[in-house]
Structure 1
């Protein structure tokens, strides 16, 4: 066998050049020598240009049963890896890639991207000469990998979150079972109108993407923003979207609902007397937005409907039905398509359908909706609005008449006649009359002692000659304890308590500062109520409803 024959044999099986002699030629020469028989070792050695000892070694490997690509280097031979020759390399690397909350606050890489090149440069600066590839290998050995942020932290949940969801579902079921409309409303993400990039991809000929502007600046003629406000009919599986061009205000939101009612709602529900709206807790339809309530009151009066609003708990907007039953499908329908004009936006929205039969109507609203509209307390008080017993701040009803529901047949105090006995109602205090009296009996002596100490301090340390002399408090000890309990129940702000007890907000604040530590010292835990009030009239309506429920249950 000639030497060239052996090399051609190795190259035919695509053996790497550096491995021909070590891994292939040795067993091949041994095999040829065995085939030739006596004198084969010498013949093969001459043909390959190797020593007879090398060929004999190949023969020995074959006779020992080792594989044709067997190991030539003995175990443990060769150059050691860098992590073994430099024992401090691995700990130094782990110290650099520790999370920011556990790592070295003075590390130069704390506020930079920790790429393998930057890590290698920093390790080299510390005296550990290493390359980027070796850093990557060490990180993988330690269980590290490239990871993105995970959106899993929802923030602090409201304690009544689940109860509010159950309340909304119960109300929606009652309305749907009786043939009354239930709608979910919200504002979709504002969109740029013009030749701007729109996220998503669509099928097009290869190498021919839609060309759009490189920057999202509103500097081209005809450009602007589109504000889609959606109304989703839960029972009919139908959507209505008003695309505004001015501002996302409460007036615009209610105008969109009004358009839906006159354009479709009253035709789909000709016998409707009530309307249930589920909305997010914030934004243009938030529960703290006064304009939202005044505009809805006008809608209720104009349409002759009893409009009930139930807000989703704070931080739960993604559970609003309109998000995953309407808006998500609109986004999928126009993905990858530049929204070059309002016409394109309207047509894309109107063409949105689903396998479950969703239909969508879209209209352009070019009206003007200025911001900064102020609604006074008097305007809110004049609304024909009743707050529900459960979370009256989230759940309320606006009546179509200028007066609240008739309560003439029910015994109730007017706002100016709310007495202390009315405020001691267990529905407000969260405890029975006996428990409240026991608390008052336990705390009253200490409140009196505090009062005398305060007066002594004001006199410069000179005690009064007549016990109880001096100016009288505007609140009795019983009233002070009751006011503090109502405040800790979170029924309303301090200025409301001032109206109820006929004192200033400063007096209520001072009372709470004095009584609250005593409640904590005696182990009294006051749980927050789910009812919320803003005016004395709200409390009067609430107590009237409580009395009415008691009368009905007794009957």
Structure 2
């Protein structure tokens, strides 16, 4: 399209927006190409950049020939009602312990707010990852993201970035596979970057046992151990 526009206005001074619009709209080819053009009078901020996490969330499918130039940007397909995959029922006592500000580095209210504003982005990331792998929109929850809800997926990513606990211990506490959990950390880290969450790693090595995890929470009551 652009090569035909360039050929059509070759040698013609583009002295006004109106000339540009009329020249573009007058571009045709013998095979039936026609182009519409109109002036956009909106005002837009300069220097706006797209965060990497938001860019990678786009459902882009590269073509076989020069996929960096030729690709399809697909809309997110509507979700058809289907049975909701079963998710792990997390003990509220465990959730309360893992969301302790001493572990997450933020108040529980701040974490709840982060969960609320980031959930749509997580869905987009999961959709994009599925389309990159299977080259079609998904019509169900991806198996890798169905074992935990968004709240606990984001919580595990935050705890890992804080170096509060090992992946192995998290998987044991949440009763999910370690590989399943690790597959979700990458998107979780992207969301933390997208929302500019400043995370300061805890000193020392991540907790490998429940006892070591309790030791990282100054106000933790050891009587909770039996409940976990």
Please give the TM-score of this superposition, normalised by the length of structure 2.
0.49
Structure showing the higher strand proportion among its residues: 1
Please give the TM-score of this superposition, normalised by the length of structure 1.
0.22
Q: Which has the higher contact order (CA 8 A, sep 6+)?
A: 2
